[in-house]
Amino acid sequence: MDEPEDNPYVRDPRLDFEPIETLEESTAREEAEALREAIRYHDARYYVEADPVISDRAYDQLFERLESLENAFGLESSTSPTRRVGGAPIDELETVEHVVPMRSIDSSGEEADVRAFDRRVRDRLTERGYDEPVDYLCEPKFDGLSVELVYEDGVLERAATRGDGERGDDVTENVRTIRSVPLKLHGAYPEFLAVRGEVYIPKDAFQAYNRERIERGEEPFANPRNAAAGTLRQLDPSVTAERPLACFVFDVLDDGGYGFESRAEEHETIAEWGFEVDDHTRLEGDIDGAIRFRDELLAARDDLNYEIDGTVFKVNDHRACELLGSTARAPRWAYAYKFPARREETTVRDVVVQVGRTGRLTPVALLDPVEVSGVTVSRATLHNPDQIADLGVGIGDRVRVLRAGDVIPYVEEVIENNVDGHFEFPETCPVCDSPVEHDGPLAFCTGGVGCPAQLRRAIEHYASRTGLDIEGLGEKAVNQLVEEGIVEQLPDLYELTVEELAALDGWGETSAEKLLEELDAKTEPPLADFLSALGIPEVGPTTAGDVAREFGTLDAVMAADAEALQAVRGIGETVAAEIAAFFESERNRDVIAALRSHGVEPQTTERAGEELSGATFVFTGSLDGWTRSAIQELVESHGGNATSAVSSNTDYVVVGDNPGESKRDDAIDHGVELIDQERFEELLRSRGVDV
């Protein structure tokens, strides 16, 4: 992008601004326009060319000055850089029709198929009288989310996802937040323009953002593509603005009569208009050169700061493309030569320590995405400090990743040490800086609920469906309450007021009142739900139910020692010790006492009888007239056991409408009797249980 001439806010920008209250409106308008021009230039230097000419602090001062001028004099503009911070949330994404169809591209990972494509191109062109050499514009095949960008008079008017190729979701407000997408084009542009691009998240930004999420106790994104796709479809543009999206543009869909003769000319010109283009794109004179390009890019794949899964070859000459035409689904002038999937071996880009709700610290390796057992993963657990030392794994090492039980990815071994030593486990919590204590191979933050990560996760668990099921206390709301300092410990939830909630961004009196009503409605929960909500290590809803039925009251559970707890059916030595230790903790007792002082009083659990004692049931599908929780409660209140998985200890699998295949198959494998609803109810009545 050419440097704006005579603009005082470009190089060594003037930051000694006149007080706003002394400015005339005309002066303010001129200054605002100069600031917009300068900020667009700095955005392009930073986000497109990766070559900034001023410091971040100077940029922030220019941006803040522009915001102040626009607010003070009502100078808002749809093309102002201040529009990138995100607008108001919307209810849903509208569907819009594309200017021209956004077709897919034929592809293969086999060289023979690529050469066959080249033969088809040359044969078809020869048949149509085209006798010039065929050259190819070769570019990376980006692994992101395709978008259509539409400009009128140089101003971004609309952005849409690819969708079904004919119509896509309108994501204009979200795309406005992407700083590598110009809100206003540069140079000599056509009155109307539609281009195709790929929204992505740079690898380094993806790893940094995941690190922040993990340290806050939030779930990280699985891979950059999923993160980009989910972010672009956000209903709240302010959330999109916080995430590090970028966008490469690589095709002109409608040039408004500009008259390009080749795709190479398109590539050069769209860069001049201010779009981010990939500098690996290259013109090759034949298919052999195109294949060499693919092989070179495959070798350089791990060094790129964005994900690609192949290369795309496009016939360069536009007249040749018109002669080749398209099929119903794909152009005949383009082909994707795909890379083989990465399998098992990858590079550790970072190690971050995650803080669980119990304070346990778990090291997580952030990886270059790799396919493991058919699933792309970008993180893997390192379990504990001892395993890090045993493996000798450090940031930058090449490792082999496996999945435990085809579910949890973990680092199995280091294949290539690229750093000296290994990752050093921190001596203090990465979130609250409290000292770290070790219990055998495990490490724990000593900050308790004073640690924001533990507090967030504790509240989320307390309010979750496996806890008290408090609607309105999801991840976003909990983060906001903790960050604003309104909730510093779990009992503070019951001191919230409508006034302080309504004053928060995105809230209002109605949502505030609903949350307080939800909290009030759950002050007398079943004992089992309350025990599950406390987040006792190793205690989920099933174990909580067993303990509640055995002891009946919260006071009885709190007074029980490990030996008494171990006598409960299904509870072993480890779980019994965890429960006893939880209630022996003075901190935990103080939290429970504070909850009770705010009116939270778990209700006594009493068994209706022992008619189903010793019988274990698994349910699959729906039963007429019963909810799943109600039927499980009935079984357990009469001494039976209702579990979620089939094992050799299961007595009956009850099959309702629309059952899952896996539980029926497991029942057959374990020799467990399958019964329908009628047979189940007969069994209950035969044992004296009223239904």
How far is 140 from 552, CA to CA, in rounded Å?
64
What are the residues whose beta carbons fall under 8 Å from the beta carbon of 539, sequence distance 6 or more?
A: 531, 532, 547, 575, 578, 579
How far is 663 from 661, CA to CA, in rounded Å?
6
Burial class (CB in 10 A: 0-12, 13-18, 19+), 53: middle
How far is 452 from 483, CA to CA, in rounded Å?
8
How far is 356 from 458, CA to CA, in rounded Å?
9
In the numeric block, the tokens 């070179």 are attached to: 296
Could you write out the DSSP letters of every residue in 467-507?
TT--TT--HHHHHHHHHTTS-SSGGGGGG--HHHHHTSTT-
User: Residues 141, 314, 338, 663: which is the catalytic one?
Assistant: 141
What are the residues whose beta carbons fall under 8 Å from the beta carbon of 47, sequence distance 6 or more?
A: 179, 180, 246, 276
Q: Rounding to the nearest 10 degrees, give the CA dihedral for residues 549, 552, 555, 558.
A: -20
Q: Do 480 and 511 touch, CB atoms closer than 8 A? A: no
How far is 134 from 82, CA to CA, in rounded Å?
46
Burial class (CB in 10 A: 0-12, 13-18, 19+), 131: exposed
Beta strands in 263-326 (DSSP E): 282-284, 308-315
Q: Do 452 and 482 touch, CB atoms closer than 8 A? A: yes
Determine the longest span between alpha carbons in the chain, in angstroms.
Answer: 93
568 vs 556, 561, 564, 572, 575, CA distance in Å?
A: 13, 12, 7, 8, 11
Q: Do 458 and 428 touch, CB atoms closer than 8 A? A: no
Q: Do 396 and 347 touch, CB atoms closer than 8 A? A: yes
3-state secondary structure 530-567: HHHHCCCCCCCHHHHHHHHHHHCCHHHHHHCCHHHHHC
How far is 121 from 323, CA to CA, in rounded Å?
10
Hey, is 17 helix, strand or coil?
Answer: coil
What are the residues whose beta carbons fall under 8 Å from the beta carbon of 24, sequence distance 6 or more?
A: none
Q: Do 434 and 447 touch, CB atoms closer than 8 A? A: yes
Query: Residue 277 has which token pair?
Result: 């283009």
With residues binned 3-state (H G I as helix, E B as strand, rest as coil), the percentages for the chain, rounded to 5, are: 40, 20, 40
Alpha carbon 25 to its chain centroid, in Å, reads 44
**Whether residue 338 lies in the annotated active site:** no
Can you name the residues that pair with 620 across neighbouring β-strands?
Answer: 655
> How many CB atoms neighbour CB 622 within 10 A?
15
Q: Return the exposure string of 283-297: e unless at least 16 CB atoms fall within 10 Å of the residue's CB, then b.
A: bbeebebbbebbeeb
Alpha carbon 688 to its chain centroid, in Å, reads 51
Strands 145-152 and 334-338, by their bridges, are unpaired
Q: Rounding to the nearest 10 degrees, give the CA dihedral for residues 251, 253, 255, 257.
A: 140
Catalytic residues: 141
